[in-house]
Amino acid sequence: MIREINIEELSKLKNAILVDVRSEGEYSEATIPGALNLPLFNNIERAEVGTTYTRISPQAARKLGLRLVSPKLPLLVENAVMLAEAGSLVIFCWRGGMRSKALASVLDVMGITVYRLLGGYKAYRAKVLAYFQTKPAYKFLVLSGNTGVGKTEFLQCLRQKGYPVVDLEKLANNRGSVFGAVGLGSPPSQKAFEALLYEELKSLAGFGYIIVECESRRIGRVTLPGSIYQALQEGTRILLFDSISNRVQRLLREYSSVPNALEEIKEALERLFKMLGHAKIRELKKMLELNELQEFTKRLLLEYYDLYYAYPNQVSPEYQLCLNHENKALSTEQMLDFLTEWTAQ
């Protein structure tokens, strides 16, 4: 039996197994988070069917599509049957058209109950865009601090304790600096990032507030939605600071675990020549070649990062809470006490 559901009904469906039947290129660009890919057409076939539709006729395109899909049906059905064992299959394509209808019909013939998403991915994307058009209904607690003070690990600690933390840099797959992409691989597309952020925020809506790290509008290759960036600017400000020696050691630990990090860092240095000048870039590269990593990191913090971001390295009246991260246990305890009082207001 084929059951057609809309986006609102999808959110209420338990144990949904989302199946994106678009091409691998469409899927990799953006999909509904958590969806699996069972493409009816690959990238080349999809282009061929589209060209036939435009240049010849819709009927010719359907005939071509049938010829291309027919040999794949046994494997597609086999994979879909295996997936159906774990939950309710929800099939979707770009806008709930022929591709999802075709596979759903075949599965129906095989006696498999299947849901088909009305409007497809396009409907989901419209919902994400509409969500970010409105002002968030919750408050933001924004954690600031210079590079290396341990903001990410601090937020992870809070998240493990059950607090509503959103790691924007993790969603963007970038640490938010000129070296932010070192060792992390490809970033998500803008659409994929927005979908991940939407799902994350939606899952935490019951808290009434969100804890995030302070970010610029752009994180690596993706951009924060305007409503979220504005909320960060208006949020309650918290400062985290630490000693220069601790910051250096923290960064060395983080980047030393990344394969080929030194080569990627050396390449990224070139993007700093406007601020540091060619002479200083050559000097820093020489330190890398001589494996003088501690001095390299310290110089980079003091001569670039701290000047660029310019957060205080001490208690400042500009922030509602200032935490010295030299004592992690104490800074965490102070944060939890603050949250208890702040949420009671």
Can you tell me which residue has the tokens 């310290």? 298
Active site residue 157: no
Rg (alpha carbons) of the chain, rounded to whole number: 25
Other Cβ atoms closer than 10 A to 37: 15
Other Cβ atoms closer than 10 A to 284: 22
Nearest Cα to Cα of residue 176 among 23, 308, 291: 308
Q: How far apart are CA 88 and CA 68, in angstroms?
A: 27
116-119, long-range: CB within 8 Å, 24+ apart, which pairs? Answer: 116/2, 116/3, 116/4, 116/5, 116/90, 116/91, 116/92, 117/5, 117/6, 117/7, 117/10, 117/90, 117/91, 117/92, 118/4, 118/5, 118/6, 118/7, 119/6, 119/7, 119/95
- 218-219 vs 222-223, strand pairing mode: antiparallel
The one-letter amino acid at 327: N
| Token code pair at residue 267 | 């390449």
Torsion-angle region of 260 (φ positive above 0: left; ψ -120 to 50: alpha; else: beta): left
Which whole-number Å values give the CA distances from 10 to 14, 119, 345, in the listed order?
Answer: 9, 12, 36
Q: How far apart are CA 150 and CA 250, in angstroms?
A: 7
Catalytic position from the list 93, 157, 214, 322: 93
Q: Give 244: exposed, middle or buried? Use CB within 10 Å, 0-12, 13-18, 19+.
A: middle
Annotated catalytic residues are: 93
